[in-house]
């Protein structure tokens, strides 16, 4: 069984602090560094692939990932070019996590993309991108994208292309993960449902005649380490309610990784038993405390799982 790995997902900070935190993640021994993605959101967010390009120039070791990129909002041919370039400039470190999104319909309107086409556009867009990463020349004939004898160069360092992880919880997302994904990124989910979701992914892969050898089951982990459970819970609820403009109070016991180090590790163990092999740790805290949380995760959480 592959070892459990750990990524870090950083909240938006002023540029100097953002880049310093990225460098610290690289130094602390995390396996990867991640960013979320929206065109328009409740709070300020950097454009994800631009941010990863900035990270690429100041880090040496960590892989760079999107959790997850809203592919339907962009033309996949342009995305193939950007991601290919990013993989080359980073020395082959890109993990391309993609998802459908939809919690903010206004950004689909702003991009001129029909909201009800977003799933179909992601499914087709993945195939467009893989075709352009792989083939010279490339041709594609789909519902939304068509071209003949087009080449995008340079090709990615990783061949036939960077791994594509599928994000989401819906049955459609799980079907897409089984049929098209190199990994799956869950979020706001309980361990029992995680295990059930992996079964659905395996069934979808079997139905498509695909092997899941090398497939990476991951979880975007909203974690708050505190002196005790109640203090950590209060901060978790406050920060996520602000981020998503909704009350996260009723969700804390269900979906949070919350409490002291031992409590957080115990909650994560349930996901390991459910089949998770990759935790993308998103510290839920005040911006000025993010480094402290990352240091605690690296020093006290990661060593508990490295040999699991």
DSSP 253-282: HHH-EEESHHHHHHHHHHHHHHT--EEEEE
Q: What is the pTM of this model?
A: 0.96
Q: Rounded to an integer, what distance in angstroms lies between the CA atom of residue 175 and that of residue 55? A: 32
What pLDDT digit, counting tens, does each position of 179-220 carry?
Answer: 999 999 999 999 999 999 999 999 999 999 999 999 999 999
Asked if 119 and 177 touch (Cβ cutoff 8 Å), the reply is: no
Compute φ and ψ for 285, nearest 5 degrees: -165, 180
- Percent of the chain at pLDDT > 90 equals 96
Q: What angle do CA 50, 163, 83 make, to 5 degrees?
A: 30
84-102 pLDDT tens trace: 999 999 999 999 999 999 8
Q: How far apart are CA 142 and CA 113, in angstroms?
A: 16
Q: For residue range 41-52, what is the model confidence (pLDDT) as tens digits?
A: 988 999 999 999
Residue that the structure tokens 């409740």 belong to:
42
Place of tokens 């328009």: 40
Written as six digits, the tokens of 110 are: 């702003």
What tens digit of pLDDT does each residue of 256-290 get? 999 999 999 999 999 999 999 999 999 999 999 99
Instruction: Parse the chain into domains and list their residue ranges.
Output: 5-305
Indicate if the pLDDT at residue 171 is higher than 60. yes
Quick one: average pLDDT of 9-33? 97
The CATH number of 5-305 is 3.20.20.30
- pLDDT, one tens digit per residue, over 114-160 is 999 999 999 999 999 999 999 999 999 999 999 999 999 999 999 99
> Helix count (H) and strand count (E) of the chain?
12, 12
* CA neighbor of 21 nearest in space, from 37, 30, 10: 10
């Amino acid at each position: 069984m592959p070892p459990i790995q750990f990524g870090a997902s950083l909240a938006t900070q002023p540029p100097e602090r953002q880049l310093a935190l990225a460098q610290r993640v690289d130094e602390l021994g995390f396996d990867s560094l991640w960013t979320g993605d929206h065109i328009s959101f409740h709070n300020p967010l950097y454009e994800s692939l631009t941010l990863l390009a900035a990270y690429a120039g100041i880090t040496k070791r960590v892989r760079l990932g999107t959790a997850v990129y809203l592919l339907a909002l962009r033309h996949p041919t342009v995305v193939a070019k950007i991601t290919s370039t990013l993989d080359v400039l980073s020395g082959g470190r890109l993990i391309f996590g993609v998802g459908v999104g939809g919690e903010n319909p206004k950004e689909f309107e702003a991009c001129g993309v029909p909201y009800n086409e977003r799933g179909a556009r992601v499914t087709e867009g993945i195939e467009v991108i893989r075709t352009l990463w792989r083939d010279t020349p490339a041709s594609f004939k789909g519902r939304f994208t068509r071209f003949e004898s087009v080449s995008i160069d340079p090709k990615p360092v990783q061949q036939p292309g960077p791994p594509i992880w599928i994000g989401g919880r819906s049955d459609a997302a799980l079907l897409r993960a089984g049929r098209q994904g190199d990994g799956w990124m869950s979020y706001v989910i309980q361990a029992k449902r995680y295990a059930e979701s992996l079964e659905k992914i395996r069934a979808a892969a079997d139905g498509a005649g695909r092997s899941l050898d090398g497939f990476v089951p991951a979880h975007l982990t909203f974690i708050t380490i505190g002196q005790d459970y109640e203090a950590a819970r209060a901060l978790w609820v406050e920060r996520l309610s602000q981020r998503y403009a909704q009350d996260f109070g009723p969700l804390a016991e269900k979906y949070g990784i919350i409490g002291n180090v031992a409590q957080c590790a115990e909650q994560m163990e349930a996901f390991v038993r459910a089949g998770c092999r990759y935790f993308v740790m998103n510290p839920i805290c005040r911006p000025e405390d993010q480094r402290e949380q990352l240091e605690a995760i690296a020093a006290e959480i990661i060593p508990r799982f490295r040999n699991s």
